[in-house]
């Protein structure tokens, strides 16, 4: 297939690795197709000194990429799926969710700290993270820890660990895998300790709605099981009106064991907590894989009925 396509990408090393993977896959799938990458800086990339929760989360890492597509400068954008708001701007659509990498969060210790478990951290140790989701779950497990905001790409965060003498930080295993630095992880959190961000581990490919040519080019990148899981997670997040400013986690997976009539099942787990981790609501729900949005809404309703509504109201009021 001949022709050309332009990908919009953030400029961090990880973002470029992700966009280059999509570029290379499109070239492999469609010999003769010219694929170029245009680096576009987003608001989230510019404001590195402010906590994410203080600068808003609607399109923080996506808006400028989306504007370029709507203006016709680019044809598609590659995002970390966890950065995608649940509401997509008019005129755009997510045309593919890719197969997930390891969805877990991992602890990355400083130069003088390489704990094997969370219990190995000394009492009162300082951990850096700008994620309210991670902060809440971490403090629910270890309320003695001191949490400080830390933002930037992986290299920047590692440098800040050393400069500020922190015990460590928390990163996504998928990001370290894509950076080919999985050895930085001291240990991985189990799901009962820390659930990942909605969409974590997958890439979201966004394009103009109705652009049949681009959708057809990207279609082979769609991973069906991941797509079902993310539809449930994003439905949960939408029903909870969540984003970077609220401590919400969600993870769905298609069961390896179909039900009695051979249909696939989805298991969705979720967490809502106060910023200080003192109030938390957890839940899980299983249902038919072919009705993922309904599963997300049902679990959200259950969490809200068990106190998540009050937690979220207090979090938003404090913001």
The pLDDT value given to residue 57: 54
pLDDT (mean) for 72-94: 94
Task: Break the chain down into helix, strand, coil percent, rounded to 5.
Answer: 40, 25, 40
pLDDT (mean) for 209-235: 97
Higher pLDDT, 114 or 244: 114
User: In Å, how far are 1, 92, 205, 314 from 99, measured between CA atoms?
Assistant: 24, 21, 12, 36
User: Strand 168-172 and strand 126-128: pairing?
Assistant: parallel
Are 203 and 98 within 8 A, CB to CB? yes
d(CA 203, CA 251): 15
- pLDDT averaged over the chain? 90
Rg (CA), the chain: 20
d(CA 319, CA 183): 36
Model confidence pLDDT, tens digit, residues 100-132: 999 999 999 987 778 999 999 999 999 999 899
Query: Does the structure show a pLDDT above 90 at 2?
Result: no
Segment holding 19, helix H or strand E: helix 13-29
d(CA 211, CA 208): 6
d(CA 20, CA 266): 31
Query: Does the structure show a pLDDT above 70 at 273?
Result: yes
- Count of CB atoms within 10 A of residue 316's CB? 11
The pLDDT value given to residue 152: 78
Query: Does the structure show a pLDDT above 70 at 53?
Result: no
End-to-end Cα distance, the chain:
50
pLDDT (mean) for 206-227: 97
The pLDDT value given to residue 233: 97
> Helix (H, G, I), strand (E, B), or coil: what is residue 236?
helix
Give the rounded percent of residues in the chain with a pLDDT score beyond 90: 76
d(CA 121, CA 187): 12
Are 188 and 104 within 8 A, CB to CB? yes
> Helix (H, G, I), strand (E, B), or coil: what is residue 184?
helix
d(CA 88, CA 59): 9
- Count of CB atoms within 10 A of residue 276's CB? 13
> Phi then psi for 34, rounded to 5 degrees?
-90, 125
CA-wise closest residue to 125 among 149, 145, 150, 148: 145
**Cα 243 → chain centroid:** 10
To the nearest 10°, report the CA torsion of 79, 10, 196, 123.
180
Are 271 and 137 within 8 A, CB to CB? yes
Q: Per the residue annotation, which of 24, 45, 71, 83 is the catalytic one?
A: 83
Question: Is residue 83 flagged as an active site residue?
Answer: yes
Please report the domains of the chain, with CATH numbers, ordered by start residue: 4-98+202-222 (3.40.190.10), 105-188 (3.40.190.10), 229-318 (3.30.160.40)
Instruction: Say whether pTM exceeds 0.95.
Output: no
Question: 191: exposed, middle or buried (C-beta count within 10 Å: 0-12, 13-18, 19+)?
Answer: middle
Model confidence pLDDT, tens digit, residues 22-48: 999 999 999 999 999 999 987 766 555
């Amino acid at each position: 297939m001949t022709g050309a396509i332009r990908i919009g990408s953030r400029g961090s090393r990880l973002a470029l690795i992700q966009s280059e993977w999509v570029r290379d896959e499109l070239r492999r799938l469609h010999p003769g197709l010219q694929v170029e990458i245009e680096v576009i800086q987003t608001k989230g990339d510019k404001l590195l000194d402010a906590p994410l929760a203080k600068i808003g989360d609607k399109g923080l890492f996506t808006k400028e990429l989306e504007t370029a597509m709507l203006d016709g400068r680019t044809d598609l954008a590659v995002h970390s799926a966890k950065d995608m708001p649940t509401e997509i701007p008019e005129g755009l659509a997510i045309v593919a969710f890719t197969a997930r990498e390891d969805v877990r969060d991992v602890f990355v210790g400083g130069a003088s700290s390489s704990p094997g478990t969370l219990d190995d951290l000394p009492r009162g140790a300082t951990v850096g993270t700008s994620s309210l989701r991670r902060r809440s779950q971490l403090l629910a497990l270890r309320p003695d820890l001191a949490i400080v905001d830390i933002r930037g790409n992986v290299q920047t965060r590692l440098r800040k660990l050393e400069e500020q003498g922190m015990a460590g930080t928390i990163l996504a295993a998928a990001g370290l895998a894509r950076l080919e630095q999985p050895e930085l992880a001291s240990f991985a959190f189990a799901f009962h300790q820390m659930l990942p961000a909605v969409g974590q581990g997958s890439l979201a490919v966004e394009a103009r709605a109705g652009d049949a040519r681009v959708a057809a080019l990207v279609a082979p990148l769609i991973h069906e099981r991941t797509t079902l899981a993310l539809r449930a997670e994003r439905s949960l997040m939408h029903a909870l009106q969540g984003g970077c400013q609220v401590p919400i986690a969600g993870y769905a997976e298609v069961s390896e064991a179909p039900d009695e009539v051979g249909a696939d099942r989805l298991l969705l787990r979720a967490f809502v907590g106060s910023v200080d981790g003192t109030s938390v609501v957890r839940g899980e729900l299983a249902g038919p894989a072919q009705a993922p949005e309904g599963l997300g809404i049902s679990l959200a309703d259950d969490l809200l009925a068990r106190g998540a509504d009050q937690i979220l109201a207090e979090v938003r009021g404090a913001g």
